[in-house]
Amino acid sequence: MQTTRLAPCCALLLWALVVAGCATTGAASPSAKPVFYPNAKLKQVGQAQADADAQACEQLARNAGLTPQEQDNAVLHDAAKGASLGGAAGAVGALVSGRGPGGVVNNGLAGAAVGGSVGAVNGAFQSKPSQTYRHFVQRCLKDKGYDVIGWN
């Protein structure tokens, strides 16, 4: 019986990871890249060289101790909070329904797994780009002659 209870939790965790992966793309994500205005420098060197220069500036920012995303541990914090709340709710539900100690533990563990997954997804949606990192990269590219008009 425990294997049938474990399968839905694993499926939910897999779904949560897929959704979290989808949430980390686009202009507002930490994985966004600089978008260049087609000025004289870009026309002179071409997009491939501009992308290589952007990668060099990103590495320079990382070497300076910056990261593309804000370091607020939102995913870990929300996963822990969700696991705590889900575990408590599962255990209380088992107590109210009159299940024995085994039911309380099993429901508590299942609730913690579901709550942790939901919390992790919530934290992933809150991942935000570091403005300091982006400003650093933009300044580096400006010094090289590029004009960054945004991030995508």
What pTM was estimated for this model as a whole? 0.55
Residue 42 token pair:
């870009």
Find residue 148's DSSP bridge partners.
36
DSSP string for residues in 52-104: HHHHHHHHHHHHTT--SB----HHHHHHHHHHHHHHHHHHHHHHHTT--HHHH
Q: Enter the DSSP assignment of 46.
A: -
- Place 112 in a pLDDT band, splitting at 50, 70 and 90: low
pLDDT exceeds 90 at position 93 = no
- Please write the tens of the pLDDT for every residue from 3-32: 555 555 555 555 555 555 555 568 888 899
- The band of 102, judged by pLDDT with boundaries at 50, 70 and 90, is confident
Distance CA 38, CA 47 (A): 9
- Residue scoring higher pLDDT (144 or 81): 144
User: Would you state the structure tokens that stand for residue 114, as one six-digit string?
Assistant: 């579901």
Residue range 100-117: average pLDDT? 69
Helix, strand or coil, per DSSP, at residue 147: coil
